[in-house]
Chain A
Amino acid sequence: MAANVALLGDAPFLILQLLLDGLMIGAIFAVAAYGMALVWGVMNVINVVQGELVMLGGFIAYQLTLWGLSPLWGVPVAAIVLYFVGAGLHHVVIRRVADRDMFISLLATFGLSILLQQLMNQIWGGDVKTAQSGLGTWFLLDYTVTVSQMKVAAFGGAIAIGAVLIIFLKRSRLGQAIRATAQNPRAARILGIDTNRVFAATYGINAALCGAAGALVVMAYSVHPYIGLPYTVRSFMIVIVAGLGNLPGVIVAGLGLGAAENFAGFILGVQYQVAFVFCLLVVILVIRSTLLQRRRQFLK
């Protein structure tokens, strides 16, 4: 571990490499986190199945390659498919738990997460899957720093997805209804907004975001039925640190988390990278709750 830290000191280009890789995946974390914040803010549900929706998007893009299509098609296709998956999940499960005690919705979405894991495991098997986009690699600074073109494309894609979403929320009627409902569901209902439809659309849009992000993940990185939960936890952490409805905060926290994770993976060893994510979650929660405790408040 100390040797790895020393190595970083000796080879500054490694720092640049880790930082670049971290920032590029951080953008994808930010997209998933923004979706989680949307669902959390609008319907008061912490969506534990978030990461599995990302994985499902990745598997759909992977499936397209099996059918001979370019995985790039996976981004729109996964978004569309996931929108309907999300709306369906909302209809069957989420709408029944959204207005209850938050523990019930947590447990229900956790159950969905286990269900989707098993379903994906059954359909696509328990191996790590990637989809070849056909893009190459750039070499910078005399071949000391490598930049995967696909990761850059994924970074750009994540930013584009985020931009589309924000324009949609600001400009479209549905987007305005979503924002109104987030601010005050009762007032929205009085104004004649069908909040149940808004909830379904919100959940669907969140799923679509996850799907598109997942298609980027399968091309730039990899997917596996059981590695969804870390994505959920990353989203959750980003939202906690940034706060609900704070877009710049989500972006900064997402990029920061991506970078932190890459450095931690390098220093602690890559086998502890996921452990780092979950430990960081606990540490962040403990710090926040201790700070609140000073003011006689609680994290709740």
Chain B
Amino acid sequence: MSGHRQPLLMLAVAAVGVALPFVIPDYRAQIAMLWALVIMAQTWDITGGQTGYNSFGNILFFGVGMYASVVVQRDVGLDFFPGLVLGMVVGAGIAAALAVLLGSMILRMRGHYFAIATLGLGIAAGEIAGGWDYLGAGSGLSPPLFPAPPGTANLFFAYLYFGVAALVFVALAALYRTRFGLALNAIRDNEDKAEAMGLHTGVYKVTAWTMAAFVLGLVGGAMGNMLGFVDPRDTAFAGATFGVWMVLMAILGGKGTLWGPVLGAVIFHITQELLWTHLLGWQRVALGVIIVGIVVFFPQGILGWARTRWPARHEHQGHGSERA
């Protein structure tokens, strides 16, 4: 994906995103979910792919956003839309604050210890929410209903998530062109060297994770209303579904690339939706097989594979400022 074709591709994807809810109106809920998954994969890749800090617990921020948003909507007493917006913003804010707090403690660990610590955080959050009466404990919470027929609700969420996904994409494309993006890559490649060159690695890592947390908080903040219920372990802190999917989608498309997570999310979501209808009862088992299969046999991802297949395309576009 060389530099001058990037805008064309982005325009094409944007056009698809705008048209899709009207081309296949029966699938608006799935379209909304697709863009939400795209965002999850994109944000996971900020630390996972670009910085080399593989988190298994980013679902924490999604779930915190979801709970915070629904609690705000429950307790503040605004109308649906102002309540939703306030809820999303509060959720994102709390998620970001948590990322700063936890990140400054656990981002000092390297490699798999960070991965396992984040896994622990994600599950602990679900367990705490599942025991806390203020959050509805095990039975969860019911968000306010969308004040219009379900078809309209899904249209709204499809465009909401598409908008966020597009913004995140553009923002990340810009971010990865800055020296901050290079600093993250430097940490990924050799953190000791990055420190030896005087980089404030700790600050950058926490910042990167906080960015991911903020966006995931936003996504979670609307997801409760879209799904119609908040459950501690099955929707909010769903480590075995969204939590691992975001890792998987980024890997499937190609870690550490701008388009990889998008591509991975699209392919994964379509595959999963197809499985859903054909393998009644066994779809979760099949998903497990897919996860293991991708990790074992295709860890470099589609773009990683393409890069080794056609290395020439990448040779002349490494301008320090211009990357795929």
Q: Do A and B come into direct contact in the complex, CB within 8 Å?
A: yes
Find out whether the CB atom of B285 lies under 8 angstroms from the CB atom of A119: yes
Find out whether the CB atom of B247 lies under 8 angstroms from the CB atom of A107: yes
Complexed CA–CA distance, A12 and B108 (Å) = 41
27 pairs, A vs B, C-beta closer than 8 Å: A93-B296, A102-B112, A103-B115, A104-B295, A106-B56, A106-B115, A107-B54, A111-B292, A112-B288, A115-B288, A115-B289, A117-B240, A229-B123, A233-B123, A271-B130, A274-B127, A275-B124, A281-B116, A281-B117, A281-B120, A282-B106, A282-B120, A286-B106, A298-B108, A298-B109, A299-B108, A299-B113
Find out whether the CB atom of B284 lies under 8 angstroms from the CB atom of A118: yes
**In the complex, what residue of chain A is closest to B289 when comparing beta carbons?**
A115
Find out whether the CB atom of B112 lies under 8 angstroms from the CB atom of A106: yes
Complexed CA–CA distance, A93 and B291 (Å) = 12
Find out whether the CB atom of A300 lies under 8 angstroms from the CB atom of B116: no
Complexed CA–CA distance, A233 and B138 (Å) = 22
B105 is an interface residue with CB less than 8 A from chain A: yes
Encoded as 1 (CB less than 8 Å from any A CB) or 0, chain B from 120 to 132 comes to 1101100110110
A84 is an interface residue with CB less than 8 A from chain B: no
Kindly list chain B residues whose C-beta atoms are within 8 Å of the C-beta of A114: 240, 244, 284, 287-288, 291
We find that the number of chain A residues with CB closer than 8 angstroms to chain B is 42
Find out whether the CB atom of B121 lies under 8 angstroms from the CB atom of A282: yes
Query: Residues of B at under 8 Å CB distance from A?
Result: 54, 56, 105-106, 108-113, 115-117, 119-121, 123-124, 127-128, 130-131, 137-138, 240, 244, 247-248, 251, 281-282, 284-285, 287-289, 291-292, 295-297, 299
A122 is an interface residue with CB less than 8 A from chain B: yes
Query: With contacts A102-B112, A285-B113 known, is A96 near B296, CB below 8 A?
Result: yes
Find out whether the CB atom of A110 lies under 8 angstroms from the CB atom of B244: yes
Find out whether the CB atom of B127 lies under 8 angstroms from the CB atom of A272: yes
Complexed CA–CA distance, A229 and B127 (Å) = 12
Find out whether the CB atom of A108 lies under 8 angstroms from the CB atom of B109: no
Complexed CA–CA distance, A130 and B108 (Å) = 42
Q: How many A-B residue pairs have CB under 8 A?
A: 130
Kindly list chain B residues whose C-beta atoms are within 8 Å of the C-beta of A121: 284
Kindly list chain B residues whose C-beta atoms are within 8 Å of the C-beta of A119: 285, 288
**In the complex, what residue of chain A is closest to B115 when comparing beta carbons?**
A106
A279 is an interface residue with CB less than 8 A from chain B: yes
A269 is an interface residue with CB less than 8 A from chain B: yes
Find out whether the CB atom of A103 lies under 8 angstroms from the CB atom of B120: no
Q: What is the minimal beta-carbon distance from A214 to any residue of chain B, in angstroms?
A: 19
Q: What is the minimal beta-carbon distance from A86 to any residue of chain B, in angstroms?
A: 15
Query: With contacts A275-B131, A279-B120 known, is A107 near B109, CB below 8 A?
Result: no
Find out whether the CB atom of B54 lies under 8 angstroms from the CB atom of A103: yes
Kindly list chain A residues whose C-beta atoms are within 8 Å of the C-beta of B106: 282, 285-286, 289
Q: Which residues A79-123 have CB closer than 8 A to chain B?
A: 93, 96-97, 100, 102-104, 106-108, 110-112, 114-119, 121-122
Kindly list chain A residues whose C-beta atoms are within 8 Å of the C-beta of B123: 229, 233, 274, 278
Find out whether the CB atom of A111 lies under 8 angstroms from the CB atom of B105: no
Q: What is the minimal beta-carbon distance from A295 to any residue of chain B, in angstroms?
A: 13
Find out whether the CB atom of A282 lies under 8 angstroms from the CB atom of B124: yes
Residue among A93, A104, A114, A233 with max Cβ neighbours from chain B (10 Å): A114
Complexed CA–CA distance, A108 and B112 (Å) = 13
Complexed CA–CA distance, A93 and B296 (Å) = 7
Complexed CA–CA distance, A212 and B251 (Å) = 35
Kindly list chain A residues whose C-beta atoms are within 8 Å of the C-beta of B130: 271
**The one of A100, A104, A278, A299 that contacts B109, using a Cβ cutoff of 8 Å:** A299
Kindly list chain A residues whose C-beta atoms are within 8 Å of the C-beta of B282: 122
Find out whether the CB atom of A97 lies under 8 angstroms from the CB atom of B291: no
Find out whether the CB atom of A278 lies under 8 angstroms from the CB atom of B120: yes
Query: With contacts A93-B292, A285-B116 known, is A272 near B128, CB below 8 A?
Result: yes
Find out whether the CB atom of B124 lies under 8 angstroms from the CB atom of A278: yes
Kindly list chain A residues whose C-beta atoms are within 8 Å of the C-beta of B291: 107, 110-111, 114-115
- 12 more A-B residue pairs beyond the given contacts A106-B56, A108-B296, with a C-beta to C-beta distance below 8 A: A46-B112, A96-B297, A107-B54, A107-B295, A111-B291, A115-B292, A116-B288, A117-B288, A118-B285, A269-B131, A272-B127, A285-B120
